[in-house]
Structures are given as C-alpha cells and as structure tokens.
C-alpha cells in the first residue's frame, strides 16, 4: 500500500513557493529523523538537495541524497524517504501534466527515474533556484526557458545511454580521465596508452559522450569542484588547484561559463545565505 498525492505533508514545511508557466517551484525543509512512508506524486518533478541528507528507496533500489544531489522522479513513482541527523533542505521543480504531454511525443525522458551529483543538470536547477529566490518581471520567461533546457539536457543524456555500447577503449579513456582529472592530460598520449589511433579515439569518445575529451574533462573538474563547494569549507583557491586548474581566476571563469554562477554564489546556495 502507498499514498498517492499531489501536495501536503510529503512536501515538508514550505519556506517558499513560486508558480510560473504552469510550473511549481518549492523550497522546503524536513526535521532530522523524519520518515516518509511509501508514496507517489501526481506530477513528475526534479528534487535538489541544498543542505542535509536523506536516504530514498524506490522499487527495489535505493539512493543516498547529499548536498548537490539532483533526483528526477517520474509521475506516480513509488518511493519512501528517511531524513538523517541534519534533516533536509530541498528545492523542487514540479512539472504539470500539460508539460509531460508536450514532451512525451518527442522523448520518453519523463518516464524514467534518474539522479545526478554535480554536473550541468545540477547547475541548471541551482540557477533556477537562484532565479526564483529573488524574482523580477523577467523571471517567468527565464524560469520557463531553464525548465525546457533542463528537460532537454536530461533527454540528451538518456539518448546517449541508449546507444549501442561504445568500444572498450572509449570506456577505458573515460576511466582514465576520472582517475587523472587533476593532471595535465594530452589526448595523443592517452591514445598511445590505450593503443588506439588518436582519430578513432576522438571520434568514438564524441559519439559516446557528445563532446570532446577536453570538454568532458573540463565538465568533470567543475562537477568535482561543485561537490567540494557544496559540502566543505575548503577555500576556493585550494579547490581550483585540487581539481586541476592553473589558478583561481581560470577556475572561476570556467565555473561561471558552465554553471552561470561564480563559485562563491554556488557555495552560498548550498551553505546557507
């Protein structure tokens, strides 16, 4: 048995609620130790953990949600939650049925659960939170545009996952980038290490990930930096070195280009205003 709902206590204590273009954006908090039994929501929604942490069970699987974790819940997905000793501070983007009807003929993206820690999607939803925190006359247009961009990025990621598995050396290249992300890397040197022609590696990697190895590495560094910013008080200059940027200025320029916020603005959202 589970409870199906469209609003109420399963949304915690609401701090802020904003509606625009049929979208509902909600900021809410849960007390430490709060447990939500199995339930589902009428509409699909994205949920970003700003502070605190919780465990979630959905179907036969479970996930841990910490600061900068983004979860997409399709409509009617059954799940249960348990908030840990710091409680939870969450931001949700709820999509009405009309939005799902617009998207479903073009993509099945809103029918499948997904979760992310850091990366472009988390940055987009963080920007959305920042936008509705101090809305102005242009906010409805910006919010609708960001929501469409978020759905598009989620759809693109799922499309890549459905493609036929890439060659083994593409996976090896990805593993190498994750293991050595803070180092100065050369695509030709990586291709020699994997015993594959540089052109084949470049083409295969782009087909698998939709970007070059250099772009992937830059995004990876920003994703890892985002986790540091959201969950630690490590100085920004030190973080820039830890993730492989030449200096703080270079790091900040790339961070803002990919997330639309400075590192300090990003940290402020997850560490409290």
CATH topology (fold) of 168-271:
Arc Repressor Mutant, subunit A (1.10.10)
Given a cut of 80, whether residue 166 has pLDDT beyond it is no
* Residue 21 banded pLDDT, cuts 50, 70, 90: confident
Both structure tokens of 106: 């073009």
CATH number for domain 3-162, candidates 3.40.50.11740, 3.90.1150.10, 2.40.50.140, 2.60.120.10: 2.60.120.10
pLDDT in tens, 195-223: 999 998 999 888 888 789 999 999 999 99
Angle at 126 between CA 54 and CA 259, to 5 degrees: 130
**3 and 38 in contact (C-beta within 8 Å)?**
yes
The count of C-alpha atoms lying within 13 angstroms of the C-alpha of 50, restricted to the half-sphere facing its C-beta, is 22
Rounded Cα gap, residues 9 and 234, in angstroms? 36
Angle at 196 between CA 191 and CA 201, to 5 degrees: 65
Residue (of 76, 197, 101) closest to 151 by Cα position: 101
> CA distances (Å), 269 to each of 108, 126, 154, in order?
31, 8, 22
What is the average pLDDT score of the chain?
87
Whether the full predicted model's pTM is greater than 0.85, yes or no, is no
* Residue 259 banded pLDDT, cuts 50, 70, 90: confident
Q: Where in the chain are the domains?
A: 3-162, 168-271
* Residue 173 banded pLDDT, cuts 50, 70, 90: very high
* Residue 6 banded pLDDT, cuts 50, 70, 90: very low
**Which stretches does DSSP call E strand in 42-175?**
44-58, 61-65, 69-73, 79-95, 114-117
What pLDDT is recorded for position 111?
84
pLDDT in tens, 91-128: 999 999 888 888 776 667 788 889 988 778 888 899 89
What pLDDT is recorded for position 99?
86
What pLDDT is recorded for position 202?
92
């Amino acid at each position: 048995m589970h409870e199906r709902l469209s609003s109420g206590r399963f949304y915690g204590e609401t701090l802020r609620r904003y509606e625009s273009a049929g979208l509902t954006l909600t900021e809410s908090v849960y007390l430490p130790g709060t447990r939500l039994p199995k339930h589902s929501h009428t509409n699909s929604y994205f949920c970003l953990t700003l502070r605190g942490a919780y465990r979630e069970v959905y179907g036969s699987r479970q996930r841990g949600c910490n600061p900068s974790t983004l979860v997409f819940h399709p409509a009617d997905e059954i799940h249960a939650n348990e908030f840990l000793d710091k409680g939870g501070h969450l931001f949700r983007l709820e999509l009405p049925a009309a939005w799902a009807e617009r998207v479903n003929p073009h993509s099945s993206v809103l029918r499948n659960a997904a979760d992310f820690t850091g990366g472009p999607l988390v940055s987009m939803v963080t920007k959305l939170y920042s936008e509705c925190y101090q809305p102005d006359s242009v906010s409805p247009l910006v919010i609708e545009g960001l929501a469409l961009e978020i759905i598009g990025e989620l759809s693109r990621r799922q499309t890549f996952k459905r493609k036929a598995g890439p060659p083994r050396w593409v996976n090896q290249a990805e593993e190498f980038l994750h293991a050595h992300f803070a180092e100065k890397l050369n695509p030709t040197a990586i291709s020699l290490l994997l015993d594959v022609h540089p052109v084949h590696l470049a083409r295969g990697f782009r087909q698998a990930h939709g970007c070059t190895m250099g772009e992937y590495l830059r995004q990876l560094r920003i994703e890892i930096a985002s986790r540091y910013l959201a969950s630690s008080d490590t100085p920004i200059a030190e973080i820039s070195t830890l993730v492989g940027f030449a200096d703080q200025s270079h790091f900040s320029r790339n961070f803002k280009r990919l997330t639309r916020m400075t590192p300090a603005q990003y940290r402020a959202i997850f560490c409290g205003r």
